[in-house]
Structure 1
Amino acid sequence: MLRYALKRLASLAVSLLVASLVIFLVVEVAPGDPASYMLGINAQPETVAALRTELGLDVPKYQRYLDWVTGMATGDFGTSYTYRAPVSQMISDRLWVSLPLALYALTLSTLIAFPAGIYAAARRGRLGDMGVMAATQLGVAVPNFWFAMLLVLLFAINLRWFSAGGFPGWDDPLQGIKALTLPAIALALPQAAILARVMRSSLLDILGEDFIRTARAKGLSRRQALWRHGLRNALIPVLTIIGLQFSFLLAGAIIIEQVFFLPGLGRLIFQSITQRDLIVVESVVMLLVFAVIVVNFAVDLAYAAVDPRLRTRS
């Protein structure tokens, strides 16, 4: 297991290095100059040059890349061009919105998808299976931002059970969770539909294996064979989807955060792109890539825990 984990760690380090280079190059080649954007089209060239020097934009790009990477390694993400505040502090303030939102949505997605997928697999071809599959097809087809607006219309405007947007902070945890409930539901339901379909498909594949038929021949019912032998062996593709979903929920909630006016990482990226705040865009995107890679690393370890054969092959 240790050898397996070390090999995955080495792969993680290489992936982070390549990702940092790609992010820096993509952001740097984008058209527009932050200094010119901040000063406006009528700014004098001398003023623009002075601001570029102040922001550190006049040094060679390779030096800026090295400074950025070494700074991130020590926890220094640089200073925002627009807000003149440490990027690390800006990320920290907004991470306490985006991370709980992603975890909340992932929890809801898993709690919905696992019973639905297992129920559909246990009743393959019956009315219950067809009902679950129809519901998941609808969940996949409906855009989450449209569903979010329906939630606001019903629960915030008509019933007044939740606020239509904003975040009160974590001074009162119940109010914070309440403010994230509608966004979490809007994010969770499409992901739950995908996860339920994967869970059903994986279980049906496992239930057709020889070891399941052997268990049935020894006297186990279909339900007993499913719970004792099928479920664990069906978890590998499901774990993959859960890992990908967490990464998506953390990094891909930009539209939902705009709909609900949540001060999260997604909204920070959107604002930084419009303001040409390159250092914020690079740092936040790199942090999200780091989260994706770490989650994939955790999923790999979970694979090894679920299926010991993976450890012996590595």
Structure 2
Amino acid sequence: MLRYLIRRLISLGLSLLVASALIFSVVALVPGDPASFMLGTGAQPETLAALRAQMGLDQPWPVRYAAWLGGVLTGDLGQSFTYKTPVAGLIADRVQVSLPLALMALLLAVVIAFPAGMYAASRRGRAGDAAVIGATQLGIALPNFWFAMLLVLLFAVNLRLLPAGGFPGWGNPAAALKSLILPAVALALPQAAILARVLRSALIETLGQDYIRTARAKGLTRGQTLRRHGLRNALIPVLTIMGMQFSFLLAGAIIIENVFYLPGLGRLIFQAITQRDLIVVQSAVLVMVAAVILVTFVVDLAYAAVDPRLRAR
């Protein structure tokens, strides 16, 4: 297990290094001059040159990358030229919204998907299975932003049970969690539909194995066999999807954050792109990519815990 962990840690470090180089390269190659955009077309050449020097744009690409990477390694992500505050502080504030939202959405997706997937697998070919498949198809087909607006119309406008948008901060935890319920539900629905279908397929494949028939021959019911023996052996593809879903929920909730006016990471990146605040863009994207890579690392460790045969690879 130790060798497996060391190999994964080396892979993690190399992935982060390559990701940082790619992100910096892509942002650096974006057409247009950020300094000219910030100052406007009527800026004096001296003022423009001074701002370019302040932003480090007058330095060669390798020098700028090395300086940025050195700052990242020491926790200094630079200074935002739009907000006039450290980028690390901006990202830390936004993570306090995006991370709880992603966790709530993933938890809701799992709570919905696991019973639905197990129910469909245990009733393969019956009416219950068809009903679950139909419901999951509908959940995948519905755009989450449209479903979010329906939730706002029902629970915020008509019933007045939940806020329609905004985030009051964690000074009042109850109000903060209440403001995340509707966006979490809007994000969780399509993910629950996907996860339920994957779990159903994995369980159906598992239920055809010899050890399942042996368990049934020993007197276990279909439900007991499914829970005790089938579920664990069907978890590897499910864990893969869950890891991908968490990464998407953390990094890809830009539309939902804008629908509900949530000050999350996705909205920060969107605003920084429109304002050409490149230091914020590259640092926030790197944080998101690092989160995706770390989630993949955790999923790999979960694979090894579920299936010990993987540790020897």
Q: Which category of TM-score, normalised to the shorter sequence, fits these structures? A: over 0.9
1:186 aligns with 2:197: no
The corresponding residue for 1:30 is: 30
TM-score normalised to structure 1 length: 0.98
The corresponding residue for 1:307 is: 307
Report how many residues are paired: 313
State the distance in 1 between where 2:224 and 2:237 align: 21
State the distance in 1 between where 2:266 and 2:138 align: 26
CA shift, 1:228, in A, is 1.5
The corresponding residue for 1:143 is: 143
The residue type equivalent to 1:247 in the other structure is S
State the distance in 2 between where 1:51 and 1:306 align: 54
1:1-314 matches, cutoff 5 A: 1-312=1-312, 314=313
CA shift, 1:278, in A, is 0.6
The residue type equivalent to 1:61 in the other structure is W
CA shift, 1:214, in A, is 2.0
1:244-281 CA-partner distances (Å, limit 9, x unpaired): 10000000000000000000100000000001111100
Judge conservation of contact 1:32–1:276 (CA < 8 Å) in 2. no
Aligned-partner SS, 2:31: coil
1:214-265 CA-partner distances (Å, limit 9, x unpaired): 2222332222221111110000100011111000000000000000000010
CA shift, 1:58, in A, is 1.1
List gaps (5 residues or longer) in structure 2. none
Identity of aligned residues (%): 70
The residue type equivalent to 1:259 in the other structure is V
CA shift, 1:107, in A, is 0.6
State the distance in 1 between where 2:222 and 2:153 align: 44
The residue type equivalent to 2:68 in the other structure is W
TM-score normalised to structure 2 length: 0.98
State the distance in 2 between where 1:287 and 1:192 align: 25
The residue type equivalent to 1:114 in the other structure is F
State the distance in 2 between where 1:261 and 1:249 align: 16
CA shift, 1:128, in A, is 1.0
State the distance in 2 between where 1:95 and 1:268 align: 10
